[in-house]
Structure 1
Amino acid sequence: MEFDRTGIILYTIEYKKCVEFYESILGLKKMFESENLTCFKFGQSYLMVELDDEYIGQKTETERFRTCLRMNVPNVKLLAEKLTAENIKVDYQEHSWGTIAKFLDPDGNLCAFKDSGKFEKQIADFKQNK
């Protein structure tokens, strides 16, 4: 399987502090941002810092996901269907900002496919509006 891009998503409760840290302290360059998400250039990949809006203070530290292995692909639905056919539970979501399919690897690590087209558009729009 080939990917258009790969990235790491860091889900955080301290969103603004983490964005400040990665931008000001580590000097990462922004690729794009929205209200609760900032995407940085991270070598040949990207680091997406995102507010963990699913954490409501009840999950234990070991139950809360903090990272996600992201793979940008041309056709999220097709790959989600392939995983489902392999009896892998997939959380397929279509949003205005793009399509994702979240799933767990055999060890319970969170993984996700994201549509390449909308991701590249976010980068282009950010550069244009800068």
Structure 2
Amino acid sequence: MKIKRTGLILYVKKYEESIVFYETILGLTILFKNDELTCFDLYGTYLMVEKEDREDYLIMDEMNAKTFSCIRMNVDNVQNLANDLKKKGVAVDYQEHHWGKVAKFYDPDRNLIAFKDEETFTKQIEEYTLKSK
């Protein structure tokens, strides 16, 4: 099997608000768009934001909704980006752990997104590689 491209599909109820969020707040470039889906460049992969059409999810109220996944992007300076998001009116949960720094926030449809510091991520890979030898 030869994989040509990878991506994520994110189903949302708040389609227009989500498009504005990913384009304006996160600054992602639109690859293509129509009335029901918008495809963004997500740093070497793609993020397809698509109108939710599954009946069981459409009738689910927000109190029963649960985030089962997270879109994470590794960056150089998590705190600076978290501060930039806060200036744009986004609620951000900035955390520092022994394994690294993260900033967690939600899009308009309550999908979880996070920035993670690349430095400690790279160190974790290097340490694991050394231990595995």
What's the TM-score once normalised by structure 2's chain length?
A: 0.51
Q: Which of 83, 86, 89 is equivalent to 1:84?
A: 86
Shift of 1:63: 2.8
Flag as ranges the 4+ runs of structure 1 deviating above 4 A: none
After superposition, the C-alpha distances for 1:43-72 in whole angstroms (9 at most, x for unaligned) are x78xxxxxxxxxxxxxx9943221000000
SS state at 1:89 partner: coil
Residue aligning to 1:126: 128
Larger radius of gyration: 2
- Indicate how the Cα distance of structure 1 residues 61 and 89 shifts in structure 2: closer, same or farther if over 3 A, else same: closer
SS state at 2:91 partner: coil
Structure 2: runs of 5+ lacking an equivalent: 1-7, 9-43, 46-61
- Measure the CA separation in 2 of the matches of 1:77 and 1:94: 10
SS state at 1:83 partner: helix
Return the letter of the residue paired with 1:104. Answer: Y
- Measure the CA separation in 2 of the matches of 1:61 and 1:88: 20
Q: What number of residue pairs does the alignment pair up?
A: 75
Q: CA-atom RMSD, angstroms?
A: 2.5
SS state at 1:78 partner: helix
% same residue: 46
**Structure 1 residues 61-70 or 93-102, which shifts more?**
61-70
Return the letter of the residue paired with 2:73. Answer: M
Structure 1: runs of 5+ lacking an equivalent: 1-7, 9-43, 46-59
Residue aligning to 2:113: 111
What's the TM-score once normalised by structure 1's chain length?
A: 0.52
Shift of 1:106: 1.6
- Indicate how the Cα distance of structure 1 residues 128 and 66 shifts in structure 2: closer, same or farther if over 3 A, else same: same
SS state at 1:70 partner: strand
Q: Map 1:1-130; keep pairs closer than 5 Å.
A: 62-130=64-132
